[in-house]
């Protein structure tokens, strides 16, 4: 056994007096001890161990992206990014230039559209004269898609019924078509590489379906193993047909029996995801008051009785599939909501990129200034006793962990670093809290303990939802 003692460092250790300690002991590929130079466990082996002076460097666990959409993120890397476009004219110019530079593409695929940039309007006629090919533009929040007429025709959107909780505006919206397997495998590989380069050791995919699962399995079979740990939550869409809901839950239960922490620690199904409402940006989030300019309150997608029945079915499947619960995004909450997170042991899984001031301009008009003062109340969640977990929600935002931490701690923009604007700075979390939420806060749940140490090889993602 090879033992190495790393001394004179700043090693993240949540629960210590300032969040950091000085010494790390590694035995082979296991973390055997984290503490101080004079700890008995360190003194006992110093004479025979290799000593490495960290020279006051910071040591962190590998990042975990607590909320990502692997396939969508990988595919988005090849799409035209419209986030920098602040006016419809800029969007049109960007698409025209992109189309000219990609004459052999079957479709023009774009991402990053913010609805407020086009004043809430997304007409097919604004795109029809740009290119004869189908044009699909994903909204930044992935909850809406803007298409030209050619895309609507390709989809047959005019004859399709509205989805539960949504609406097909017959000249506005659509869903991008599926891509062939090879393109999906390339996209997954790009997503994995991008996360690994950014310092991640694991990801939690928060909307797994058959298409994504099949592609990931093919990718995994071809390579023997994945380059990082993947925990997936099976998406259970709402349906008025109870049998449809049950079939999705039963599929998750069946997969979990084979792919769980014990049988498949690096690639597993650990929970289900129920999308209860939409997003503030799309005016589809279910809030207690109506949006500005609207008279009706947006109802949740799931009726309460159907939601309760779905949760019971997943919970009754046995321990593991529904052991932990989390609430995702938490864009607007009341103080009572924040308190309930801690009281009920619900993890606050948040993505600070979403509060970037560069994307916040339309909120006061949609919500009013008073409600905006309650936006993204992260420190209040911590004060309530809730566990905080960070993700990126890529591709709705970039995947870079350090920029995510920057926004969470400063409440300033990573999109426009020169801006002095902030969003509710009183809810900023400390750097130690933020780093813990992106690393140790998830690692304490994701790492599998072996005796006194934690194995680097056997880190194990578990359910966060």
Q: What is the pLDDT of residues 180-231, one digit of tens each?
A: 457 888 899 999 999 999 999 899 999 999 989 988 998 998 888 888 889 9
- Percent of the chain at pLDDT > 70 equals 87
User: Domains, the chain, ranges and CATH?
Assistant: 3-59 (2.30.40.10), 65-69+180-447 (3.20.20.140), 77-155 (3.10.310.70)
Q: Which pLDDT score, from 0 to 100, does residue 456 have?
A: 28
pLDDT at 16: 66
- According to the model, what pLDDT value does residue 164 have? 65
Pairing verdict, β 30-35 and 23-27: antiparallel
Q: Residue 272 is inside which H or E element, if any?
A: strand 267-273
pLDDT of residue 181: 55
Please give the residue that has the higher pLDDT: either 409 or 281.
409
Average pLDDT of the segment spanning 245-274: 91
173 and 115 Cβ atoms separated by less than 8 Å: no
Per-residue pLDDT of 4-25, as tens digits, reads 999 999 988 866 656 789 999 9
| Per-residue pLDDT at 170 exceeds 60 | no
pLDDT digits over 301-327, tens only?
A: 999 999 999 999 998 876 666 555 788
pLDDT tens digits, residue range 344-392? 888 899 999 999 999 888 899 999 999 999 999 999 999 999 989 999 9
Q: In what order do the strands lie in the sheet with 20-21?
A: 20-21, 10-12, 58-59
Q: What is the mean pLDDT of the chain?
A: 85
The whole model's pTM is what?
0.76
pLDDT at 69 over 70: yes
Q: List, as own/partner pairs, every contact residues 216-224 make where C-beta atoms lie below 8 angstroms and the sequence separation is at least 24, other chains included.
A: 216/70, 216/71, 216/188, 216/267, 218/181, 218/185, 219/185, 219/188, 219/189, 220/267, 222/185
Given a cut of 60, is residue 137 above it in pLDDT? yes
Q: What is the pLDDT of residue 68?
A: 92
The mean pLDDT value for 421-446 works out to 82
């Amino acid at each position: 056994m090879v033992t190495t003692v790393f001394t004179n460092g700043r090693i993240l250790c949540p629960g210590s007096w300032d969040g950091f300690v000085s010494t790390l002991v590694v035995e082979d590929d296991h973390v055997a001890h984290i503490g101080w130079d004079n700890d008995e466990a360190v003194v006992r082996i110093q004479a025979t161990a290799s000593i490495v002076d960290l020279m006051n460097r910071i040591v962190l666990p590998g990042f975990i992206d607590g909320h990502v959409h692997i396939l969508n993120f990988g595919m988005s890397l090849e799409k035209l990014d419209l986030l920098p476009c602040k006016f419809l004219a800029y969007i049109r110019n960007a698409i025209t230039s992109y189309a000219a530079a990609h004459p052999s593409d079957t479709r023009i695929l774009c991402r990053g559209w913010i609805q407020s940039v086009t004043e809430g309007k997304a007409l097919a006629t604004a795109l029809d004269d740009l290119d004869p090919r189908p044009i699909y533009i994903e909204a930044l929040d992935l909850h809406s898609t803007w298409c030209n007429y050619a895309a609507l025709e390709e989809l047959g959107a005019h004859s399709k019924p509205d989805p539960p909780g949504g609406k097909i505006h017959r000249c506005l919206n659509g869903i991008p078509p599926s891509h062939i397997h090879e393109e999906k495998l390339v996209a997954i590989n790009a997503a994995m590489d991008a996360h690994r380069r950014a310092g991640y050791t694991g990801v939690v995919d928060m909307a797994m379906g058959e298409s994504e699962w099949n592609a990931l399995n093919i990718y995994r079979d071809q390579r023997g193993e994945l380059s990082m740990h993947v925990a997936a939550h099976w998406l259970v869409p709402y349906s008025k047909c109870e049998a449809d809901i049950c079939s999705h839950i039963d599929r998750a239960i069946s997969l979990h029996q084979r792919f769980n922490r014990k049988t498949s620690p690096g690639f597993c199904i650990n929970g289900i995801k129920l999308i209860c409402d939409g997003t503030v940006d799309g005016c589809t989030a279910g809030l207690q008051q109506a949006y500005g300019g609207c008279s009706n309150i947006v109802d949740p997608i799931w009726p309460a009785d159907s939601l309760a029945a779905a949760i019971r079915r997943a919970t009754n499947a046995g321990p593991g599939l529904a052991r932990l619960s989390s609430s995702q995004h938490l864009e607007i909450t009341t103080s009572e909501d924040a308190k309930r997170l801690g009281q009920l042991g619900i993890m606050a899984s948040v993505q600070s990129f979403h509060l970037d001031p560069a994307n916040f301009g339309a909120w006061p008009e949609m919500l009013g200034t008073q409600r905006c003062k309650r936006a993204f109340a992260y420190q209040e969640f911590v004060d309530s006793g809730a566990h905080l977990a960070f993700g990126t929600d890529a591709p709705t935002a970039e995947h870079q962990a350090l920029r995510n931490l920057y926004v969470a701690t400063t409440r300033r923009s990573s999109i426009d670093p020169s801006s002095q604007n902030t969003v509710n700075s009183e809810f900023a979390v400390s750097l130690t809290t933020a780093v813990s939420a992106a690393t140790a806060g998830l690692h304490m749940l994701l790492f599998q303990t072996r005796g006194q140490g934690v194995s680097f090889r056997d880190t194990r993602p578990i359910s966060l939802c």
